[in-house]
Every structure is written in structure tokens, then in C-alpha cells.
């Protein structure tokens, strides 16, 4: 939702008479602005922070002028804005830490949901605001506390009373210390899935401005096709690569409760989008996708030969620096690992140096092939390798899951890799 027009369009889309919970993220651009503001506050650049806060506040005053018709709603809208901006401004004096930042980031969703609820009510819809901070919670390990959510969302629905449309905030939550926190950027999708699972919804719908998952990356390959249906297994493999489309954790809660997830396009609402469910359409390759910004780390050690516990020690280094590993490939005396978070690369490199020689290659991309694939099928591997003829492959992961084959290539070769896989493996 980027403008009053878009907010009205969303209202039209959702008011079909069917009871639902509507999870909203902040108006577009807002979270980015709030991240910027927090950055200035961390840098103690209060002047610039105040300037940016002022700009954002002006923008919201314009939104209110364009959104509501009655003076009463406009007044209520301005009150919402004032409260949030007073909170944001309170951090321009005194010290600033993570809790301050999370509190600032939360204002985007707090504002959008309150304005949207006012809009719904002004237009005669039976809508109520459901405060997410009362039921969305993560535990000490930053994992969603599904028991707490299930119990408390039901309590909260009772508390606010009967409505056709419950409007709630995506992204924001409380943590184990009962402080404001969030589910990471793009987390509104994840909120929707957690709520859908908690209330045993019929379907969870994620609305964006694209038609759902495509069978290849439309930014690099021509004539890609929308995928109508994916199984939970296939979607789980693809989610990491389509983080811009779908927050990677979204599928899990839905899958646990076996609730279908549908990706829909607000620009094309009659299209069925991509449906993700427990059903499978049978075997075959469904999609290829790529992720940039990958770094490969190779550890070579004579000590690895015939030793047990070697990999455990290597993995422990990544665990120590809270750096997730994606691909792994091993030989008798070496192991290659890929990561996308290089914040602690220097430390990781130093620690790994105790085991053997370490080599690092950056500027890599993972290209993955997703589908229900019978990898043992005679000739299948040769088909994949044939498609990749001429591509300099740095790593391969084959057989880790029947739903994914991944290759690591230099990012400069990504486009031709995607194209080659499309031409040779996907049905036209």
C-alpha cells in the first residue's frame, strides 16, 4: 500500500463479505525510511534524523488528507500520526539502542493498520483492529512462539468483539523479554502464515504486486511462466531464492497445519496466483532460481582424511559466529561451504585457519533447480550437466533433497546459467 488510492483498492479487494483477518505491512517506503532514521540516530546524527522524521510526517499528513472524507476521521487519523511521531521523536534525545530502533520500526505497521481500520469503518464496514503486540511473540531463540500466539490471538479476538474484518499488524511482535521486536524485513508474510495456522484458516493469502512464483527469474530470462501450483516441499526449496516474493519462513507454519498458501497479485486480482499446498502435481522440474551475494569458503586439511569429528569442528566455527551455511560439498581432504552473511568472515577465516588452509571466493551465485525430481533416474544427471555445458561450476549439490539440485557459479555467469537451464530443462 503506497497511497490513499492503493489503500482504497485494498479495501475493495478484501470486502467480499467473507470473514477474515487482514495482516498489513507498513505503507511502501515507510520501513526503509524508519531504518534510515534509526541509522542516523545510531550515528548520533540527530539533525538529519529530525529532518527525515519531518519529511515522513509531512507525507503522512498528505495521506490523511487524501484518504478520509469526514472531518471526524481526519481528526482521528491525525491523532494516530501524532502519537507515533511523538514516539519516534522521543528518541532524538537521550541514548539510542536496539529497543529504540525496534520501537521506531514498529510505527510503520502501527500507523498503516490504524489508518486502514478508520478507512474501513468510515466506509461502513464492520472492521476492528487486532493489536499484534498482544499475541505475536518470539522466544529466546527468536523463534515464533506458536503456542502463545494460538492461545492469545483467540483471546484477543474475543476481547475486541465480533467483526467481519480484523485488521492487524504484520512484522511486529514482542520478544521473550516482552519488548517490541520484529520478524525481520518482509516479515508480514510470516505473520500472516503464523496467524493462519493459529486460527486454522481455510487459506492464507499473500498479496503483493507480482503474480506469484515464476519458473525462472523474469529479470534475467525472457518468457518466464507463472507457476500455478507448488507443493510445500518445492516451495520450501524455492523460498530462499524468492525472498523478495515471500519471506522464507512463511511456508513452515502453514505446512505444519496443512493450510494452503496462495500468492496473489493486487494488480491482477482475478488471477489464481501461485497455490502452495500439500498436493503435488507429479514429477518434473518446476523452476530454476538464483541468489547472488554468495561467498564460498574452502577448508583443506590433511587431518580430515579418515577422521571423525572434523566437520563438526568446522561447523562449530560457523555456529559460533551465527552464520548460516547454505551449500556444502566435500572431498576426502577438503570441504567447501557457502554463506551469504559475510559480517563475520574475517573471524571465521581466522578460526578455520587452525584446521588447515582456507580459501575464499566471493561474487558467487547459487542457481537451483526445483521440482519433484527423481535424481536416480537414468540419464537425469547427464541432462542437467548437458544443460550446464560451458558454465564454470564451482560447487554442486545433488541428492541432498529430491526437490533441489544446486550449483554455485560466478555471478557474472548467472544469467547464461539461468537461460541454459530454461532452454534445456523447462517446458516452453
Residues contributing to the site for ligand ASP (CB under 6 A) = 25-26, 31, 108, 170-171, 185-188
- CA-CA distance, 287 to 277, in Å (whole number)? 16
Q: Which of 77, 100, 186, 242 binds Mg ion (CB under 5 A)?
A: 186
- Least separation in angstroms between residue 269's CB and ligand ASP is 19
Q: List, as one string, the DSSP characters of 76-112.
A: HHHHHHHHHHHHHHHTTSS---HHHHHHHHHHHHHHH
174: CB partners within 8 A, 6+ apart:
133, 136, 137, 138, 180, 181
Largest Cα–Cα distance in the chain? 78
Closest approach of Cβ 244 to Mg ion, in Å?
Answer: 7
- Residue 26 interacting entry, from Mg ion, ligand ASP, none, C-beta within 5 to 8 Å by type: ligand ASP
Shortest spacing between CB 144 and ligand ASP, in angstroms: 15
| Distance from C-alpha of 90 to C-alpha of 37, rounded to nearest angstrom | 13
402, 375 Cβ separation under 8 angstroms: yes
Residue closest to Mg ion, measured at CB: 186
Q: Which is nearer to ligand ASP, 100 or 108 (CB)?
A: 108
Partner from Mg ion, ligand ASP, none contacting 185, C-beta within 5 to 8 A by type: ligand ASP
List the single partner that 33 binds among ligand ASP, Mg ion, none, CB under 5 to 8 Å by kind.
Answer: none
- 4 touches Mg ion (CB under 5 A): no
Closest CA relative to residue 366, chosen from 417, 420, 409: 409
- Tell me the C-alpha distance between 369 and 175, whole Å: 36
Nearest CB to ligand ASP, comparing residues 25 and 413: 25
**Which region among 184-192, 212-220, 224-232, 358-366 touches Mg ion (by CB under 5 A)?**
184-192
Q: Which is nearer to Mg ion, 186 or 212 (CB)?
A: 186
Helices 46-67 and 98-122 pack at an angle, to 10 degrees, of 10
Give the residue from 358, 367, 359, 287 showing the smallest Cα distance to 326: 367
Q: Which is nearer to ligand ASP, 2 or 54 (CB)?
A: 2
How far apart are CB 115 and ligand ASP at their closest, in Å? Answer: 14
Residues lying near Mg ion in the complex (CB under 5 A):
186
Amino acid at each position: 500500500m503506497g497511497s490513499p488510492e492503493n489503500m482504497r483498492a485494498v479495501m475493495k479487494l478484501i470486502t467480499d463479505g467473507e470473514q477474515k483477518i487482514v495482516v498489513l505491512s507498513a505503507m511502501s517506503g515507510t520501513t526503509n525510511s524508519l531504518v534510515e532514521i534509526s541509522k542516523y540516530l545510531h550515528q548520533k546524527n540527530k539533525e538529519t534524523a529530525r529532518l527525515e522524521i519531518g519529511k515522513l510526517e509531512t507525507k503522512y499528513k498528505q495521506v490523511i488528507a487524501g484518504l478520509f472524507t469526514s472531518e471526524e476521521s481526519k481528526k482521528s487519523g491525525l491523532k494516530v500520526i501524532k502519537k507515533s511521531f511523538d514516539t519516534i521523536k522521543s528518541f532524538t534525545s537521550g541514548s539510542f539502542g536496539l529497543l529504540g530502533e525496534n520501537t521506531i520500526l514498529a510505527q510503520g505497521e502501527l500507523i498503516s493498520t490504524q489508518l486502514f481500520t478508520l478507512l474501513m469503518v468510515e466506509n461502513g464496514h464492520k472492521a476492528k483492529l487486532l493489536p499484534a503486540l498482544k499475541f505475536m511473540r518470539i522466544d529466546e531463540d527468536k523463534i515464533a512462539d506458536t503456542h502463545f500466539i494460538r492461545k492469545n490471538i483467540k483471546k484477543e479476538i474475543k476481547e475486541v468483539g465480533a467483526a467481519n474484518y480484523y485488521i492487524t499488524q504484520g512484522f511486529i511482535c514482542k520478544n521473550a523479554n516482552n519488548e517490541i521486536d520484529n520478524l525481520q524485513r518482509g516479515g508480514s508474510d510470516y505473520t500472516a502464515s503464523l496467524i493462519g495456522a493459529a486460527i486454522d484458516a481455510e487459506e492464507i493469502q499473500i498479496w503483493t504486486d507480482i503474480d506469484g512464483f515464476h519458473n525462472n527469474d523474469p529479470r534475467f530470462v525472457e518468457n518466464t511462466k507463472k507457476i500455478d501450483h507448488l507443493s510445500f516441499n518445492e516451495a520450501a526449496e524455492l523460498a530462499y531464492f524468492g525472498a523478495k516474493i515471500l519471506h522464507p519462513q512463511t511456508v513452515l507454519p502453514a505446512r505444519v497445519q496443512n493450510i494452503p498458501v496462495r500468492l496473489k497479485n493486487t494488480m491482477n486480482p482475478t488471477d489464481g496466483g501461485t497455490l502452495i499446498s500439500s498436493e503435488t502435481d507429479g514429477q518434473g522440474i518446476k523452476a530454476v532460481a538464483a541468489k547472488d551475494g554468495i561467498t564460498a569458503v574452502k577448508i583443506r586439511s590433511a587431518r580430515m582424511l579418515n577422521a571423525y569429528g572434523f566437520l563438526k569442528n568446522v561447523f562449530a566455527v560457523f555456529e559460533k559466529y551465527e552464520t548460516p551455511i547454505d551449500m556444502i560439498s566435500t572431498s576426502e581432504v577438503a570441504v567447501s561451504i557457502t554463506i551469504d552473511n559475510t559480517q563475520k568472515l574475517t573471524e571465521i577465516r581466522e578460526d578455520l585457519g587452525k584446521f588447515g588452509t582456507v580459501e575464499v571466493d566471493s561474487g558467487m551465485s547459487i542457481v537451483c533447480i526445483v521440482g519433484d525430481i527423481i535424481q536416480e533416474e537414468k540419464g537425469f544427471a547427464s541432462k542437467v550437466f548437458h544443460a550446464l555445458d560451458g558454465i564454470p561450476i564451482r560447487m554442486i549439490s545433488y541428492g541432498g533433497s529430491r526437490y533441489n539440485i544446486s550449483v554455485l557459479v560466478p555471478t557474472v555467469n548467472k544469467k547464461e546459467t539461468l537461460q541454459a537451464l530454461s532452454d534445456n530443462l523447462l517446458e516452453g
